[in-house]
């Protein structure tokens, strides 16, 4: 036998044992025997590097990711599911299915019911049997390339049989087992770090680490639940397709059920209401979907949801605990939010010790006081909320009163007419500065990796950072001197800060934290004015007339740019080399589509949605998400949904992709 054949045999043997251990949970050899196989493979590959291939078990953990995760456009959109919260809503879904399939006998309609995992959706693409790309769901149209990190999950096959198809994309949910979540949080607390809020956040964070070796240590799991595309589809049902995926060694959840009728699907809702709590992963509901792929195709999708599937969400988990104290925290805009300090209680897989009370009016409405027994609920929120106060007898604490001064800087608080929020108006308030810095460095703003809350806390408390521009004057040795910051971590942060200088105008506008100017508005302003210098001299009337801006945003933006302290800070940022122009081509003034409004719906094939949008905008047009009387064109591709119906009712001109392309070229 040749060395190459020895290596191939070892690879296949190890892949088989990985599948038995990580997918089937039925190992057939000891850990020592497995390690011996892997050690032998490494020895052979080291001696004969010409035989090392990407699908080798030794190649799961690669080098560090040096750059930001690259964008990946999904060839078929990753739609979300419409949610239901009671059986009546699920029955209404079934009636819609029957209405959409009038020629299909009800007793022949089958459903597949699967657990709805509380994790992170991803897409895995295989070409000629090899895993070539792994991406996050993102916004459904575009995600991030996290291939290096996904390769570390041993339940994901690096190579599959190519007999049936050469190119396939499968979709699944990455999760962190509850035991692993508890282990990691125990370690973080022992090291003085903030524990993760829940397993989903921990899994999502692990998949975005720049070092795949650390991701590998997190012991993430995955369940494959769907196929995005494949080049040869001989299958007639979803269940049949799942059986094929199982045969290809993809991790398929063992609780998936084929239901011969709708009532059988309803029975499973009750079966898993309590059973799901015994599982080693978070499950927040069930997915009920048609089994027949032909029926799915006939029903199609809306712009957001497939019409052939629905998610049943179990009611949010509640718990009873005691309010130990009510404190106030300061947000980046100076808003004062009351928060209940709770007697710690376990809920939805994590220990909760705080819950938001929203505002003063909400506290009065619920009559929440220190010492009360309360019901709290965690419905997908990191900080749970207080639902109600339990009946009480005996003496209670005095009603809560909002403070007159800021709990951080002691400045007098104010509450404007018509608002429910009290605010600290001291722009030098350190609590506000900390929150503004968190926002400034966030992913959708300047995207400064490694600038976490603990680092910000120390930089502000020490007085070293008093504004955004101070970040760009930090030295490596200063950062390395902070608590729990090694030399390498300090260098990583300094590099990330330097890299953020070229983020561009739209990110900078969003990062500055102008009230009412969110990410979408920042992009619109950057594309329109191209530079911050131009924006600074733009008059209010011109701003107000812009689509999607209006008087409130225009007034807020002008007030921000006119304030001396803000002008000085912008000048300091400019001196530090921060890019204040928008990169890329500007939309043409007076272009072919000047002043015209487009809506895109359905699954585009000639362009990605983003490509179509950018081309329309480059010709002076505007792309919105909703149909209205102002819409000039609806571009309707395959599986167009309710937007097509509405456009027809309003008499809006409808284009297919070919007509859109011809219209673009006619200019």
Mean pLDDT value of segment 508-531 = 84
- Looking at the structure, do residues 376 and 455 belong to the same domain, yes or no? no
The pLDDT of 58-81, averaged and rounded, is 72
Residues 513 and 559 grouped into a single domain:
yes
Residues 496 and 511 in one domain: no
Number of domain units in the chain = 6
pLDDT value of position 424: 86
Identify the band that residue 659 occupies on the pLDDT scale cut at 50, 70 and 90: confident
514 and 490 share a domain?
no
- 131 and 187 in a single domain? The answer is yes
The CATH number of whichever domain residue 31 belongs to comes to 1.10.287.610
pLDDT band at 525 (very low <50, low <70, confident <90, very high): confident
Q: How many CA atoms lie within 13 A of 597 on its CB side?
A: 13
CA distance 187 to 179: 13
pLDDT band at 254 (very low <50, low <70, confident <90, very high): very high
Kindly report, residue by residue over 79-108, the tens digit of the pLDDT.
888 888 889 999 999 999 999 999 999 999
Q: What is the 3-state secondary structure (H, E, C) of 8-55?
A: HHHHHHHHHHHHHHHHCCCCCCCHHHHHHHHHHHHHHHHHCHHHCCCC
Residue 512 included in any domain: yes
Q: How far is CA 628 from CA 257, 399, 639, 647, in A?
A: 42, 48, 20, 8
Let me know if residue 613 belongs to a domain: yes
CATH of the domain at 166: 3.30.470.30
Give CA–CA dist 452/441, Å, rounded. 9
Domain termination residue (choose one: 468, 502, 536): 502
Whether the predicted pLDDT of 67 surpasses 70:
no
449 occurs within a structural domain: yes
| Domain annotation covers residue 66 | no
Q: In the chain, pLDDT over 70 holds for what percent of residues?
A: 90
Asked if the structure places residue 240 within a domain, the reply is yes
Mean of the pLDDT values across residues 254-276? 93
The yes-or-no verdict on residue 380 having pLDDT over 60 is no
Q: Is residue 421 part of a domain?
A: no
Do 137 and 157 belong to one domain?
A: yes
Percentage of the chain surpassing pLDDT 90?
A: 34
How far is Cα 97 from Cα 307, in angstroms, rounded to an integer? 8
- Parent domain of 450: 430-502
Q: Which residues contact 64 (CB under 8 A, 6 or more apart)?
A: 210, 211, 212, 213
Q: Which residues are catalytic?
A: 116
Domain boundary among 502, 527, 548: 502
| Whether 656 and 554 share a structural domain | no
In degrees and rounded to multiples of 5, residue 280 shows phi and psi of -90, 20
In terms of average pLDDT, the best of 249-253, 377-381, 462-466 is 249-253
**Judgement on whether residues 263 and 335 belong to the same structural domain of the protein:** no
Q: How far apart are CA 534 and CA 440, in angstroms?
A: 22
Angstrom distance (rounded) from CA 121 to CA 634: 30
* Confidence (pLDDT) at 484: 79
- Say which residue, 563 or 281, is predicted with more confidence: 281
pLDDT per position as a tens digit, 138-170: 878 888 899 999 999 989 999 998 777 788 999
- In angstroms, how far is CA 86 from the centroid of its own chain? 26
Q: Where residue 543 sits, what CATH number does that domain have?
A: 1.10.150.20
Tell which wins on pLDDT, 661 or 22. 661
Tokens of 88: 């009546």
Averaged pLDDT for residues 645-666: 81
Phi-psi group of 326: left, alpha or beta (phi > 0 → left; psi -120 to 50 → alpha; rest → beta):
beta
Q: What are the distances in angstroms from CA 235 to CA 171, 246, 516?
A: 17, 14, 50
pLDDT tens by residue, 406-452:
998 888 888 877 778 888 877 678 888 888 899 999 888 898 988 98
In a domain, 584, yes or no: no
Alpha-carbon distances, residue 330 vs 196, 336, 338, 339 (angstroms) = 22, 5, 9, 11
> Do 220 and 325 sit in the same domain of this protein?
no
Q: Is the dihedral of CA 455, 456, 459, 462 positive or negative?
A: negative
Same domain, 220 and 269: yes
User: Given pLDDT bands bounded at 50, 70 and 90, which one contains residue 626?
Assistant: confident
User: What is the pLDDT at residue 493?
Assistant: 93
Cα R_g (the chain), whole angstroms: 28
- Is the sign of the CA dihedral 419, 420, 426, 430 positive or negative? negative
pLDDT score recorded for residue 609? 73
Q: Between residues 55 and 229, which one has the greater pLDDT?
A: 229
Span 2-6, average pLDDT: 79
- How many residues make up the chain in this entry? 667
- Among the ranges 178-192, 226-240, 411-425, which has the highest mean pLDDT value? 226-240
- Find out whether 589 and 527 touch, Cβ atoms under 8 Å: no
Instruction: Say if residue 445 is in the same domain as residue 463.
Output: yes
Instruction: Supply the CATH number for residue 642's domain.
Output: 3.40.50.10190
* Residue 496 and residue 444 share a domain: yes
| CA pair distance 118, 380, nearest whole angstrom | 9
Q: Write out pLDDT tens, residues 319-369.
A: 899 999 999 988 877 888 899 999 998 886 668 888 888 888 889 999 999
Single residue among 476, 502, 528 that ends a domain in this structure: 502
**Are 430 and 438 in contact, with CB atoms under 8 Å apart?**
no
DSSP string, 318-380: EEEEEEEEEEEEE-TTSEEEEEEEEEEEEETTEEEEEEE---HHHHHHHT--TT-EEEEEESS
What does the buried/exposed string (b/e) look like for 554-585 if buried means 16 or more CB atoms within 10 Å of the residue's CB? bebbbebbeeeebeebbebbeebebbbebeee
Average pLDDT, the chain: 84
Tell me, yes or no, whether 590 lies in a domain.
Answer: no
Residue 402 has pLDDT above 50, yes or no: yes
Q: What is the pLDDT of residues 473-493, one digit of tens each?
A: 999 999 998 987 888 889 999
More confident residue, 354 or 172: 172
Confidence category of residue 110, pLDDT binned at 50, 70, 90:
very high
Q: How confident is the model at residue 66 (pLDDT cuts 50, 70, 90)?
A: very low
Q: What is the DSSP letter of 276?
A: G
CATH number at residue 354: 2.40.50.140
């Amino acid at each position: 036998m040749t060395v190459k054949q020895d290596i191939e045999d070892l690879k296949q043997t190890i892949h088989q044992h990985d599948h038995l251990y990580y997918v089937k949970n039925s190992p057939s050899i000891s850990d020592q025997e497995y390690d011996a196989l892997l050690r032998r493979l490494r020895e052979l590959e080291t001696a004969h590097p010409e035989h090392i291939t990407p699908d080798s078990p030794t190649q799961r953990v690669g080098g560090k990711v040096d750059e930001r995760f690259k964008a990946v456009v999904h060839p078929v959109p990753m739609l979300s599911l419409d949610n239901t919260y009671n059986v009546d809503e699920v029955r209404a879904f079934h009636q819609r299915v029957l209405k959409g399939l009038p020629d299909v006998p009800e007793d022949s309609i089958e459903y597949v019911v699967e657990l709805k995992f509380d994790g992170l959706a991803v897409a895995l693409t295989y070409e000629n049997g090899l895993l070539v790309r792994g991406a996050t769901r993102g916004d459904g149209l575009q995600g991030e390339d996290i291939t290096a990190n996904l390769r570390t999950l041993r339940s994901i096959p690096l190579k599959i049989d190519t007999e049936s198809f050469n190119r396939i994309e499968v979709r699944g949910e990455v999760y962190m087992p509850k035991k692993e979540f508890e282990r990691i949080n125990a370690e973080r607390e022992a090291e003085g770090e903030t524990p993760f809020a829940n397993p989903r956040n921990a899994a999502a964070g692990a998949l975005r680490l720049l070092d795949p070796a650390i991701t590998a240590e997190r012991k993430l799991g995955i369940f494959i639940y769907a196929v995005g595309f494949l080049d040869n589809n001989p299958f007639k049902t979803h269940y049949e397709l799942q059986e094929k995926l199982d045969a290809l060694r993809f991790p398929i959840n063992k609780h998936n059920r084929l239901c011969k009728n709708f009532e059988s699907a309803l029975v499973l809702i009750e079966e898993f209401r309590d059973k799901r709590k015994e599982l080693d992963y978070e499950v927040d509901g069930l997915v009920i979907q048609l089994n027949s792929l032909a029926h799915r195709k006939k029903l199609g999708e809306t712009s957001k949801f497939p019409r052939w599937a629905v998610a049943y969400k179990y009611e949010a988990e509640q718990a009873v605990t005691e309010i130990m104290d009510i404190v106030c925290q300061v947000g980046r805009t100076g808003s004062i939010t009351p928060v209940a300090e709770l007697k710690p209680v376990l809920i939805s897989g994590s220990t909760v010790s705080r819950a938001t009370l929203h505002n003063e009016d909400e506290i009065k409405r619920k009559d929440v006081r220190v010492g009360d027994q309360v019901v709290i609920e965690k419905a997908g929120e990191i900080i749970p909320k207080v639902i109600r106060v339990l009946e009480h007898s005996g003496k209670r604490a005095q009603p809560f009163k909002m403070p007159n001064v800021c709990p951080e800087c002691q400045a007098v608080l104010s509450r404007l007419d018509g608002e429910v929020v009290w605010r600290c108006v001291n722009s030098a308030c350190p609590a506000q500065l900390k929150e503004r810095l968190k926002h400034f460095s966030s992913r959708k703003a300047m995207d400064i990796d490694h600038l976490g809350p603990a680092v910000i806390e120390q930089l502000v408390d020490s007085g070293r950072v008093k504004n955004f521009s101070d970040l760009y004057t930090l030295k490596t040795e200063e950062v390395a001197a902070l608590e729990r910051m090694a030399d390498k971590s300090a260098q990583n942060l300094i590099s990330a800060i330097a890299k953020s200088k070229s983020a561009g105008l739209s990110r900078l506008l969003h990062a500055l934290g102008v009230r009412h100017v969110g990410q979408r508005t920042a992009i619109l302003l950057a594309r329109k004015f191209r530079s911050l210098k131009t924006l600074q001299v733009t008059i209010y009337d011109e701003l107000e007339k812009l689509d999607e801006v209006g008087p409130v945003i225009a007034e807020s933006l002008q007030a921000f740019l006119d304030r001396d302290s803000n002008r000085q800070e912008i000048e300091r940022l400019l001196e530090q080399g921060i890019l204040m122009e928008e990169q890329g081509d500007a939309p043409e003034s007076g272009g072919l589509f000047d002043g015209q409004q487009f809506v895109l719906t359905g699954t585009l094939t000639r362009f990605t949605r983003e490509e179509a949008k950018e081309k329309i905008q480059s010709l002076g047009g505007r792309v919105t998400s909703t149909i209205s009387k102002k819409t000039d064109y609806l571009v309707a591709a395959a599986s167009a949904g309710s937007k097509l119906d509405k456009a027809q009712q309003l008499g809006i001109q409808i284009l297919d992709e070919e007509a859109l392309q011809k219209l673009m070229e006619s200019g």
